[in-house]
Amino acid sequence: MADRMNASITLLNAFDIPIYADQLYFESDTISNWENDFTKMLHDIAGEILKKHPGLKINTISKFGQAADVILEQATGFDLIIMGSKGHGDIGDVIFGNVTSDVVNQSKKNILVVPPEVEFTPVKNIVLACHKESLISERIVANIQEYADIFGAKLNLLNVMTEIAEPVNAVYAEVDKIKGHFSGIETSVNVIASNKVVDGINRFSDRIKANMVVIVPDKHSLFERIFTEIHTNHILKVTHQALLIIKKG
């Protein structure tokens, strides 16, 4: 994506003292030594990336502190935060999943969450899961337009109905209003029924072979329901596609 979007990449490593070791004595230069070690690790990773993409500009930052706090602090001046949805093993999954949730909840920047099994393919099919036209700001339109222009992507608007509380025609009419914001993009309107929003998004995205799912934060509607499921059904672990969370701004 950085190649196609003419963007630089900064690899960020946040490290902290393990909970079980927080009462132990550390030499004054211990943290500095750790920082050097992690910086070398990032340089090695950057080297591997540059072998495949020699034209990229890659920077590295290694910083001591709580992971979510470091990420949020360092994100100033960047356009996008990219994070994984899992760690290494059961404990890593819990810790890393919590960090991702914390950053998603608190960040004012856009965040791209990438499941471990997802490999990059050109973004040709984007799903925008949104059910309320009032959520669509100029910033959201501009962000999606950028991906559509660069990759020649189609936008699939999706409303997941968890219960039939209003006429289906009214639901389609609301999604049609959303479509009106994206006149410069090939766009389809889709309304499906599902007991769980996340399951509906996954099934639809799998069916159309989506490369990216976009979610618009809204604490009082879709996003609130999704974040309820983040903590109960671990949406960040079960999503099948790269998940782009665009902050309304």
Render pLDDT for 156-169 as a digit per residue (tens, 0 to 9).
999 988 776 667 88
- Nearest CA to 140 out of 65, 80, 215, 195 is that of 215
Q: What is the pLDDT of residue 226?
A: 56
- Residues in CB range of 25: below 8 A, 6 or more apart: none
Average pLDDT in the 203-232 region?
A: 71
State phi, psi for 33 to the nearest 5 degrees.
-65, -40
CB 223: neighbour CB atoms within 10 A? Answer: 21
Q: What percent of the chain has pLDDT over 90?
A: 47
- Residues in CB range of 207: below 8 A, 6 or more apart: none
pTM, to two decimals: 0.83
Average pLDDT in the 2-31 region?
A: 78
Render pLDDT for 57-71 as a digit per residue (tens, 0 to 9).
999 999 999 999 999
Of 2.60.120.260, 3.40.718.10, 3.40.50.620, 3.30.70.580, the CATH number of 125-245 is 3.40.50.620
pLDDT classification of 31: cutoffs 50, 70, 90: confident
CA–CA gap between residue 194 and residue 179 (Å, rounded): 22
Cβ 127 vs Cβ 204: under 8 Å: yes
Q: What string of DSSP letters covers 114-166?
A: E-TT-------EEEEE---GGG--HHHHHHHHHHHHHHT-EEEEEEEESS--S
Question: Which of 50-64, 77-91, 147-161 is least confident?
Answer: 77-91
Length of the chain: 249
Render pLDDT for 109-136 as a digit per residue (tens, 0 to 9).
999 999 888 888 889 999 999 888 988 9
Is a pLDDT exceeding 50 seen at residue 55? yes
Give the homologous superfamily in CATH for domain 2-114. HUPs (3.40.50.620)
**Residue of 217 and 168 predicted with greater confidence:** 168
Is a pLDDT exceeding 70 seen at residue 211? yes
List where CATH 3.40.50.620 sits in the chain: 2-114, 125-245
